Amino acid sequence: MSPAEGPLANPRVRFAPSPTGKLHLGSARTALFNWLVARGSGGSLVLRLEDTDPERSSEEFERDIIDSLHWMGLEWDEGPDVGGAHGPYRQSERSDIYRENAERLLAEGKAYRCYCTPGELEARRKSVVSSGRAWRYDRRCLGLEAAERERLESEGAPSTVRFLVPEGSVTVEDMLRGEVVVDAGEIDDFIIVRSDGSAGFHLAVVVDDITMEITHVIRGDDHLTNAVRHVLLFGALGATAPKFLHHSLLMGPDGAKLSKRHGSTSVSDYREKGYLPVALTNYLALLSWSPGDDREIFTLGELVSEFGIAGVSASKAIFDFDKLNWLNRQHMKKLSSGELTDMVAPFLEREGRAELLALPREKLELAVESVRNGMETLTDAVGPTDIYVRPAGSIDDKAGAELDKSDVLDEALGLCIEALRSAGGSDREAAEGIVESLRAAAKERGWGAKKVLWPFRLAVTGLTVGPDLVYLIMFWGADGCAERIEATRRTLEARDG
């Protein structure tokens, strides 16, 4: 099947992460592609945890994976937390299933026991490599006499199980890359059962895909070489291999695989930094996929409607932090004041801004709205909104120095108080009217507007930076701003003795 053949019919796809670390952005992209294919084609998504590495796997990482996927808005039809007809969904709970299939391959002569120790293998490998040849397992244990096997077994010699790679060529049908043909002679008799009796990666993955009835495998192209071995195992177990799509890996700006040296790499990192889930999924979808036009901003629902295998390319996926930031800003712009405040509130709580959170809801929404244009992520609202809980008359050194520079300070502040007291009101129209009246008063005196508006800001907030004056008036009200200016006057008078 080629990408041009259109949408897939009721596919069963899977996302199979290893809980050995937090959910990586590259893995999240794979999960998203699988989810979009399932949801856009009336199919099913299976979440399977490949937790056969007990030393590195942990419940903490499993929780991070599941929580991060839910945060992104992705859900699954079958998995360790929701159950299903094809469980269990943790590989650590499927040992009996793997053992049965390994015994079957042994009985059918498609696999054999290998008693070579790691030391013996390393010595033979070094010998072969030193002579300038490429090392592949030499099948020494394939030809063992029955008596020798019995002796080794009776002595309790540890053994692995190796798959007997047949002669000929192996073809992987890839929806993105077409046919990938490999000479079977280039493939080792790979281990499918480790010496401790646990299933190797290749056997576990193939048996899981068969028993879970997976029809399409969508994963990174670092698994393309694994797919060759998997096709062989599917055939040996009498099953038809699923359709494959090996998309490009996620790279850093320098073209190397995205890693911690490029910055944050896990979904939970970006969640903590204040990115919107819709922005992250939007951006991940655009890496190696195009809708066929210039559109770049998508909700998750729109991605379900628009995403298709035909739009996926094999080109490198370079993670562009600036592009992600741009998309995050675009999605924040689409939020109402209430929605934005709801998303900012957890970050205010995390940073101990209890005084802000105690504000009346309409005041908190106004405070957040006033700093929206300066926000790149949700965390960017935390510092700037502190201005609204500063005590009246509190002036930082920079603001004090700026006030001292004014040669018409008393007159300017007097004009401000007069305009505020006479206007009253706190809605946008009233606030804009007050600002315009101050501009007009400055013009009448032959001043630039800054002669009045700059002292206004400094006296009301005690800071040199902050939201637009209209928001300050709307938040504190005309009378409230006048009172703050008078408090600043008293502070200046006390300071100057």
Domain positions in the chain: 3-82+202-249, 95-200, 337-389, 397-495
Q: What is the mean pLDDT of each run of 10 residues along the chain (497 residues)?
A: 53 96 96 97 96 87 97 98 96 97 98 95 92 90 93 94 96 94 94 95 97 97 95 98 95 84 87 98 95 92 94 90 96 97 98 98 98 97 97 96 95 96 87 97 96 98 97 96 97 87
What tokens appear for 306 in the block? 């628009």
Q: Which active-site residues does the annotation give?
A: 260
Which alpha helices (DSSP H) does 237-298 contain, by range?
267-273, 277-286
Non-local (6+) Cβ contacts of 353 within 8 A are 382, 385, 386
What tokens appear for 429 in the block? 């129209």
> CB neighbours (10 Å) of residue 57?
20
Would you say 91 and 204 are in contact if contact means Cβ atoms under 8 Å apart?
yes
Phi, psi angle pair for 95, to nearest 5°? -55, -40
**For the segment 418-432, what is each residue's pLDDT rounded down to a tens digit?**
999 998 677 999 999
Domain range 397-495, its CATH number among 2.60.40.10, 3.40.640.10, 3.30.70.240, 1.10.10.350? 1.10.10.350
Nearest to 11, CA basis, from 209, 201, 204, 278? 209
> What architecture is domain 95-200?
Alpha-Beta Complex (3.90)
Average pLDDT, the chain: 94
Domain 3-82+202-249 indexed as CATH 3.40.50.720: no
**For the segment 304-322, what is each residue's pLDDT rounded down to a tens digit?**
999 998 899 988 899 999 9
Non-local (6+) Cβ contacts of 69 within 8 A are 15, 23, 28, 31, 47, 75, 76
Nearest to 159, CA basis, from 195, 131, 130, 192? 195
This prediction has a pTM of: 0.91
pLDDT of residue 7: 57
**For the segment 68-79, what is each residue's pLDDT rounded down to a tens digit?**
999 999 999 999
Would you say 377 and 275 are in contact if contact means Cβ atoms under 8 Å apart?
yes
pLDDT of residue 5: 42
Non-local (6+) Cβ contacts of 283 within 8 A are 323, 324, 327
